[in-house]
C-alpha cells in the first residue's frame, strides 16, 4: 500500500515539475543576450554620420558622446591609397559632425578660460544652478565659439572603424569625454609653447632641374576592398 502511494506521488511530481523546468529553460533562452562591445559599436556605426549615445549628469551637463563620420573609398588610385584617403576623410568628417552638433544643438558655457561646459539646448534637465556655476555663455556666431570647438575636437578619440568592402565606405566612430577633453587641451597648449621658431626658407636653389619623369612601370591596380572592423579596448566606457 505504501509503495504504490510513493510511486504515485513521484509520478505526479515529475509530471508537474517538468513543464515548470521547461518553461524556465525556455525563458532563459528567450531572454536577449547583451551585445558585445564590438557589436554595439557596429550598431552605432550603422546609425550613420552624426552624434550618438550622449551621456549627461543630473544637471544636464554632457559627460560623453560618440560621433560617427563616413567617407567613400575610391579605388581609382588603387586599394591601399583609396583606403588611406578614405580614412583621412572619415576622420575629418567626424570632426565636422562634432563641430556642427556643437553649433546647432549644444549650449556652451565657460567656467574659466580653460574649462568649457556643454549642455543640450532646450533640455528640461538643464539646471539653473549648473548654468550659473559654468559662467558666461559663448555666443555661437563669435570667434570664441570656433576656438572652443577647435579645443574640444582635440579630445575626440577613435573607438571603432568599419570598412564596408561591398559598399566601399569607411566609417569611423570617435568618442568625446568632458574630462579627457580638458586634459588634451592643456597638453596641446604646452606643446605649442615648446615648439621652436620656424626657420626661414633658403632662397638658393640648385640650377639643375630635377627629372620628374616617372620611369617606373605602373602595376595593375587592385580594386577589391576587404570588409574589416576594429574596436578600441576602452570603447565600452562610452556605451549607454
Which of 25-39, 137-151, 155-169 is predicted least confidently?
A: 25-39
Flag whether pLDDT at 224 surpasses 50.
Answer: yes
Most confident of 1-10, 211-220, 228-237: 228-237
Domain ranges of the chain: 37-105+139-193
Spatial contact of 68 and 52, defined as CB atoms under 8 Å apart: yes
8 A C-beta contact, residue 78 and residue 222: yes
Mean pLDDT throughout 80-99? 95
Determine the average pLDDT of the residues in 130-158. Answer: 85
User: Residue range 180-186: average pLDDT?
Assistant: 60
In this structure, are residues 38 and 162 in contact, taking their beta carbons and an 8 Å threshold? no
The Cβ-side half-sphere exposure at 197, using a 13 Å CA radius, reads 2
| Spatial distance between the Cα atoms of 37 and 31, rounded to a whole number of angstroms | 18
This prediction's pTM: 0.70
More confident position, 111 or 86:
86
CB 152 within 8 A of CB 98: yes
For residues 87 and 84, give the distance between their C-alpha atoms in angstroms, rounded to a whole number: 5
Amino acid at each position: 500500500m505504501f509503495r504504490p502511494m510513493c510511486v504515485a506521488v513521484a509520478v505526479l511530481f515529475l509530471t508537474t515539475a517538468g513543464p515548470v523546468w521547461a518553461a524556465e529553460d525556455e525563458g532563459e533562452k528567450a531572454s536577449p543576450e547583451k551585445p558585445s562591445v564590438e557589436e554595439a559599436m557596429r550598431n552605432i556605426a550603422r546609425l550613420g554620420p552624426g552624434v550618438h549615445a550622449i551621456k549627461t549628469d543630473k544637471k544636464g551637463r554632457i559627460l560623453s558622446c560618440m560621433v560617427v563620420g563616413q567617407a567613400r573609398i575610391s579605388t581609382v588610385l588603387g586599394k591601399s591609397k583609396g583606403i588611406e584617403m578614405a580614412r583621412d576623410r572619415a576622420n575629418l568628417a567626424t570632426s565636422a559632425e562634432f563641430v556642427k552638433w556643437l553649433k546647432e544643438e549644444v549650449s556652451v558655457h565657460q567656467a574659466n578660460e580653460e574649462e568649457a561646459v556643454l549642455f543640450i539646448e532646450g533640455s528640461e534637465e538643464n539646471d539653473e544652478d549648473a548654468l550659473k556655476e559654468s559662467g558666461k555663455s559663448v555666443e555661437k556666431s563669435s570667434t570664441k565659439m570656433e576656438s572652443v570647438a577647435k579645443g574640444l575636437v582635440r579630445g575626440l578619440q577613435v573607438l571603432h572603424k568599419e570598412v564596408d568592402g561591398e559598399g566601399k565606405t569607411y566609417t569611423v566612430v570617435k568618442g568625446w569625454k568632458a574630462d579627457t577633453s580638458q586634459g588634451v587641451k592643456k597638453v596641446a597648449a604646452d606643446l605649442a609653447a615648446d615648439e621652436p621658431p620656424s626657420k626661414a626658407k633658403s632662397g638658393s636653389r640648385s640650377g639643375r632641374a630635377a627629372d620628374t619623369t616617372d620611369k617606373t612601370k605602373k602595376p595593375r591596380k587592385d580594386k577589391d576592398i576587404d570588409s574589416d572592423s576594429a574596436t578600441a579596448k576602452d570603447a565600452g566606457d562610452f556605451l549607454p
